[in-house]
Amino acid sequence: MQEDRKALVIFGSTGDLALTKLFPALFRLFNDGNIPEMLDIIAMSRQPLSDEAFIEQLVHHIHEADTTQLQAFIAKITLLTCDIHDRDSFQPLHALVAPSALAIYYYAIPPRLFGKVTDQLHVSGCLNDHSRVVVEKPLGHDLMSARAIHDELSSRLSESQIFRIDHYLGKEAVQNLMALRFGNAIFEPLWRAARIRYIQITVAESVGVGDRADYYDRTGALRDMIQNHLLQLLCILAMEPPARLSPDAVRDEKLKVLQALRPIEAHEVVRKTVRGQYAPSSSSEVLGYLQERGVAGGSVTETFVALKAEINNWRWAGMPIYLRTGKRLHSKCSEVVIQFSDVPIKLFETSGSQMLSNRLVIRLQPHESIKLFVNAKTSGRGMRLEPNALNLDFCDEGKMRRWTAYERLFLDIIAGDLTLFLRSSEIEAAWSWVDPIIEGWEQHMPNPERYSVGSWGPSASDQLLARDGYIWLNSEGQ
């Protein structure tokens, strides 16, 4: 065994996730000199594939690459064919990873295969106490199936060896949010229900289900997005300051937020949740969800969810948090809006109908940024105010290439840093909150409301906020 040698093994290397996200991220790290020289990359393919055919796929998905660097990167990759149901298929892998001090196994495969692959790795001698396994969502379809996945993994691995990835936590703006909160004293007195009117979290997509229809039609927007990405963003926003930036300290505080979420009971779903499904628009030739290839006829799977959440703790009690996600919406946008309270007395005039309350907007995509909207005097006579944005994103695109989420998370995996990865208790707490909503829909809202392609969702979504006197803010908090 070589002390510094490491192996990164990617199962599902010819799949969409590996080709479009994982290998491009690894190449960028390699191109910038951030991949350890002693790291070997092993691509596992279920179907027999020639080296030339695999390289052709890689080149197709790694754009704007220097040819020399790309060839050097490809030289680090070894392609193996492996039938996960055949124990003998793992022997060539064992021969490659055995000399390594650390082997990392990335499961870019369906969760139903997690247990089988883990067992085969164990039996073939590829797993040891230093091995790490990275798993992608969906981590369960409900609480029971999530526990079953955890049981399969934990039968061969300790909790510290399992890296449950949520790529949203690797985004620059999300990590800047933690820095903003816990590295600046000025925000702490304001970061509570007494100083914030509401929080909105939106993850909107302009595309449809595409070639994911088979998976999506069995899953829906609530399971696909709310249960993981949006609830994780909510945890970062609402958590208490950890005692230290250690993995357990950070994840302990996130878990407390999930456990403090006020349950949405079955009889409350009609008033506190909205579920929708995109339909053709008269002004567009884009297909509706029911016309997408692979979608079951008469499907009631939701492609849009909006809901009102509340956190029952001393910091946040009584303040609404609105979550929204959907496909085929007006534009692609992922952002968090924190609307601060109004000033006690409005002394000044405003330009037009602009609101005077301050607003913090954290945009995750398409262009990551953090902006604080404050009121300033307009030019000329009198004291008329208008909102102005202070850009708090200090990453100058002209000077520094922005890392992708997977790049950061890959380096954390190699370093063994679990801070930005989910613990099993977080997964279970999230499902414990989501499952009653699904049950409530089955009883009281069996059919999703239709919304037109290119809109911002069903009209009921606007009514959800209107009942509290608010509106959705659709573009950088505007």
Residues involved in catalysis: 229
Q: Are 402 and 172 in contact (CB under 8 A)?
A: yes
Strand, helix or coil at 186?
Answer: coil
Under 8 Å between Cβ of 104 and 26: no
DSSP state of 218: T
Amino acid at 445: M
CA distance readout (Å), 306 to 134, 393, 437, 458: 30, 28, 12, 9
> Among candidates 37, 38, 10, which has minimal Cα distance to 25?
10
Half-sphere exposure of 226 (CA within 13 A, CB side): 32
Does the CA dihedral 441-443-447-451 come out positive or negative?
negative
Backbone angles phi, psi at 174, to 5 degrees: -70, -40
Cβ neighbours of residue 439 under 8 Å, at least 6 residues apart? 266
Q: How many C-beta atoms lie closer than 10 Å to residue 124's C-beta?
A: 17
The angle subtended at Cα 207 by Cα 202 and Cα 212, nearest 5°, is: 105
Dist. CA 370–CA 355, nearest whole Å: 19
What the block records as the tokens of 306 is 């909006």
Measured CA to CA in angstroms, residue 242 lies from 174, 228, 229, 254 at distances of 16, 21, 21, 9
CA distances from 387 to 277, 337, 342, 377 (A): 35, 15, 13, 9
Sign of the CA dihedral running 391, 474, 409, 51:
negative
The strand ranges marked E within 129-266 are: 132-135, 162-164, 196-204
Confirm if 233 and 376 have CB atoms less than 8 A apart: no
**How many whole angstroms separate alpha carbon 325 and alpha carbon 261?**
19
- Kindly report whether the peptide bond that precedes residue 366 is cis, defined as omega within 30 degrees of 0: yes
Q: Beta strands 196-204 and 162-164: pairing type?
A: unpaired
